[in-house]
Amino acid sequence: MIKSKVALVRCDGYDDEKVYAAVVRGMELIGGVSCYIKPGEKIVLKPNVLWGSEPEKCVTTHPAVFKAVGRLLQGAGAQLTYGDSPGFGKTALHMQRTGLKKAADDLGIASADFDSGEVTVHKSGLLNKRFVIANGILAADGVVSLPKLKTHGLTRLTGAIKNQFGCIPGTFKGQFHLKMPDPYDFATMLVDLNSLIRPRLFIMDGIIAMEGNGPRNGNPRRLNVLLFSSDPVALDSIACRIIDLNPEFVPTSKPGEKAGLGTYRYDEIEIAGDDIETFITRDFDVTRRPPVPAASGRMRTFLKNRVTPRPVIDKTKCTRCGVCSKVCPVNPKAIEYYPEDKSKFPQHKYDLCIRCYCCQELCPEGAISVKNTFLGSLISR
């Protein structure tokens, strides 16, 4: 059996030269750049830019990691572009705030179009056979994905596979939450997206990861590791091992294996580089239970309201900005927002809510968290 390979390289900070040396070493451990990139190829770098936040907040792939990978690939003769479609709003402003625009400008890497796209048919998709894919992806010969290691309310981990969700431009992303309220269906769609785009290489920024209320409002947590692989399922699985999370609780793992993207089984993964035991962080704050599947039929509303964790607003943090209501994909909205009366806080309507957690993901103040219900916590004990 040929094992999937994941390289782990210790890197204890975001100093440009340190990160570059770590990236060079990681790439050597998985066979060298020339295994993935040929001179003259058009390669698009896809960092994780959920929202334009300063790098210290750890919402986004750090610019030093982006820059190190860009420098190495340019040295190998690649013609680079970069992009991502954030959770809300246009790409350019977000890129500026994250420091990624400056990093790209320093290397002369042009931005790719992630604000518009084309319908692309994916006949062999397990569940979803039609995507709108960003023009910046379609124009490239290949994609190098640069995920950030973070927690996620719906998928537990936002890592290598989830990173490609930003290859779908703007509001087209929200439609998938509506069409696929079941977290396992949503995860299978993410796998389909990956088997369509097929990034060649994944380099995950876990130097300072995010734990707790991720993917936007969690806390930075130092793990001092960069992860390298061409197998996104194995990469996510090893990231899980580092944060002491069962990879089977990440709903992309099993469909990822089924779709032939790779393996999440530890005995089928070869780990190269630094000793994984030195990175394992058992008290990493992540939800260590599987997502609750969406029930169908008459049980659906009952179970959803009594068992499925729900988004809850902390009024002491809420500034009544209305972003939560804007990003809520259901119609009518599952969050009542009162723009004409600023004394009133937005209010969830749980009967309408599909538990996609977009509001939690994108609240700029970290005022929304996903809370277990009383019955849900009894069941999950």
105-141 burial, b for 16+ CB within 10 Å, e for fewer? eeeebebbbbbebeeeebeebbbbeebbbbbbbeebe
Give min distance, CB of 317 to ligand SF4, in A. 7
Given the complex with ligand SF4, which of 146 and 358 has the nearer CB atom?
358
Give min distance, CB of 349 to ligand SF4, in A. 8
Given the complex with ligand SF4, which of 146 and 334 has the nearer CB atom?
334
Q: What is the DSSP pairing of strand 148-152 with strand 201-211? A: parallel
- Orientation of helix 16-29 relative to helix 63-75, angle to 10°: 60
Give min distance, CB of 218 to ligand SF4, in A. 15
Give min distance, CB of 364 to ligand SF4, in A. 6
Nearest to 373 by CA among 288, 309, 329: 309
Give min distance, CB of 363 to ligand SF4, in A. 3
Given the complex with ligand SF4, which of 127 and 330 has the nearer CB atom?
330
Give min distance, CB of 114 to ligand SF4, in A. 22
Given the complex with ligand SF4, which of 25 and 57 has the nearer CB atom?
57
Judged by the rule CB under 6 A, the positions of this chain that interact with ligand SF4 are 311, 313, 318-324, 328, 330, 334-335, 346, 348, 353-359, 363, 365, 367-368
Given the complex with ligand SF4, which of 208 and 335 has the nearer CB atom?
335
> CA-CA distance, 11 to 282, in Å (whole number)?
19
- Listed as own residue / partner, the contacts of 323-327 with beta carbons closer than 8 Å and 24 or more positions apart are 323/88, 323/359, 323/362, 323/363, 323/364, 324/359, 324/362, 324/363, 324/368, 325/359, 326/88, 327/87, 327/88, 327/174, 327/358, 327/359, 327/361, 327/362
Q: Residue 43's beta-bridge partner residues?
A: 80, 142
Given the complex with ligand SF4, which of 257 and 361 has the nearer CB atom?
361
